[in-house]
Every structure is written in C-alpha cells, then in structure tokens.
Structure 1
Amino acid sequence: MLLFLDTEYTGYSEPAPQLISLALVTEDGRREFYIEISDTWRLTDCTDFVKREVLPLLDGVGRSTEEARAELRQWLADCPRKVQAACDSPTDFAFLLRLAGLPRPANLASDYFDLRPLIDTTVYDKSVTSYYEVDARIHHALADARAYRRGWLAWMDSRKGGLSRLI
C-alpha cells in the first residue's frame, strides 16, 4: 500500500533543514497521520517563505520528537504488512526515515515511490490543483499529502483507459 507523504521544514538555509510537520495518507484514503514537531526548529531557522506560507497554516499542537516518533511508529504498526511512501522529494522521505527512527519499521519499504515524473502530466497536475479548491491550505503537509493522493488516483485512472469508470 502506498502512503502519500509530505513534510514542511525550515527551508534550505543554514543550519540544516529541520522538520516542522509530517503527514501520511493511505492509498485507500481511510487513514491519515499528521504531526507537528515542536523541538527541532526555531523561528529564526525558517526562511521567509516558510514564515509567510507554512507557519500560519500550522494547527499549533506540537509534539516532541520522541512523542512524534512513538506516534508514528504506532501508526505504521497498524498499517498493512508492506507500505511504501509516495512523495515528490527525497528530503521528505529522509525526514520520514529520521522520524521513524531505527530500527526502521519492518513494514516500511526502504525506498519511496517517486511522484516527480507525474508532476508534468496534465491529469496529475489538474487533479492536485483542483484539490486546493476544496482545501486551500497549500503548503500544509496534510493538505498536500491528500492532494498528491488525489493526483495519483487520477493518473492511475487515466492509465486504465477508463476501465475504472466502468467498475
């Protein structure tokens, strides 16, 4: 099963980027995970873009890294025996692995499904963009993960040649 992943982080400035929030949405859309981290970053670590576009969207209920790791590991343990993250950035996947900790959860694949090739397809792009008409919080990790799922589903339907519409 794919887990659509998105993260928000302080940006690519020094010091190294720090995780602000992380979201996962299951392929079937039945389960979601969203967490904000409170102890990995400071306002001064954030780029102007993050301060302007990301921070105002946070829910404001931060967890320590230790608490977030425990919640993530439990959520993953309740997933099917084989899951793979789907995202458009190796940075997002690296943050997922770092937050999950070692040993890596046994059901989490060691690589990710790369959504980047889909970004330039019309069907994926239009579907992701249309999601933000329902939830305008672009640059909120959970909203973005939901949008990526919607785009992937539309792309998969387009590859079936319309067969899915008949089922």
Structure 2
Amino acid sequence: MPFAFLDTEFTSLTAHAKLVSLALVIPEGPEFYVELPQNWALADCTDFVVDIVLPQLEPAQYGMSVPEARDALWQFLSRFDEEIIVCCDAPLWDWEFFSQLAYRHGKWPANVRNAPRKSYDLIPDLAEAIAEEQVPHHALLDARLAAELYLAATRR
C-alpha cells in the first residue's frame, strides 16, 4: 500500500477558505501538483497567504481550472494498482480540499482509501520538523518534506 503525502495551501483559516494549491507526493515515487488560480480571488486571502504563499506560485506552469485539476488528479491516481493511503498533517483542511478534487462525476477513486492517515502517526518527529521556520508553505515542497521525513523515519 503506497502512502501519498498530501499538502494544500488555501486562502484562510475560515469556513470560507478556498483551495489555492494541492500536492500529493509518493515517497521515492511520482508527484502530483496543481495550482487553482481561478478558484480564489486576492480578496479571499489573508495577509499571510498574500505575503508568503502567493509569491511562490507558478500558475503559468501549474495552473488549472478545478475540472482540469480533477481530471489530472484522477489520471495521476489511476497509475496505481494498489490502494493508496493519503497522509496529511492537517486532515481537517487538507483532506477536505483533497476530497473536493477527488470526487469526480459523483465517484470516489476506487484505489484510494476514503479516509486520511495522520502523518504524525507515521513520522514521530514531524511536529519538530515542520516548525514554522522550516516549512516553506508551498504545497509541493511541504508534501515532499513529509515524504522525506517518512523515509528517514522508516530507515532508522
């Protein structure tokens, strides 16, 4: 069963948050990354997101509409014959946004477990490793960091 480490960036820590970017990283495997520039407006974003998250985005390279992102995510997930377990450090946020993209045409991907695994359960030192000063707040870089920390923890 491959683990896929998930991270997202979104506009605010409110009920009205909108997805900005999403990444899934399989340790030592393929990666999925998408930015959704049409899904949010600058007015939706907190100062933190404007100052830290948005300057790191590359919508010309990674930008897609939500329907395009859904299709791309399904294409990525369809590569795997085994069940994929999605792991994240903030399931209340990350899993919700992942689920919004993963449900397509009323269906859930058959090879994806329909519940997240907490990254903290797999990576004992995760809390220390993702201290504010060490996290880039870029979905792909953060998901890569979790995947690397998982690999390091399993090799001990």
What TM-score comes out, normalization by structure 1 length?
Answer: 0.80
Residue deviations 1:75-115 (CA, integer Å, cap 9, x gap): 10112331011110111011111111131100010111101
Structure 1 spans left out of the alignment, 5+ residues: 159-167
Q: Which of 104, 108, 113 is the equivalent residue of 2:108? A: 104
Letter of the 2:18 counterpart: Q
The 1-side partners of 2:152 and 2:127 are apart by 10
SS at match of 1:63: coil
Q: Is the 8 A contact 1:89 1:116 kept in 2?
A: no
The structure having more radius of gyration, on CA atoms, is: 1
What does residue 5 of structure 1 align with? 6
Q: Is the 8 A contact 2:12 2:46 kept in 1?
A: yes
Letter of the 1:96 counterpart: F
Q: Is the 8 A contact 2:120 2:127 kept in 1?
A: no
Letter of the 2:26 counterpart: T
Change (3 A) 1:33 1:156: same
SS at match of 1:80: coil
What does residue 71 of structure 2 align with? 70
Q: Is the 8 A contact 1:13 1:45 kept in 2?
A: no
Letter of the 2:114 counterpart: S
Question: Which of the pair has the greater relative contact order for Cα pairs under 8 Å at 6+ separation?
Answer: 2
Q: Is the 8 A contact 2:6 2:87 kept in 1?
A: yes
Structure 2 spans left out of the alignment, 5+ residues: none
Same amino acid, percent of matched pairs: 39
The 2-side partners of 1:47 and 1:79 are apart by 37
Residue deviations 1:105-163 (CA, integer Å, cap 9, x gap): 000101111013567x44x466667xx6xxxx7011110000001111122223xxxxx
Aligned alpha-carbon RMSD (Å): 2.0
Letter of the 2:51 counterpart: R
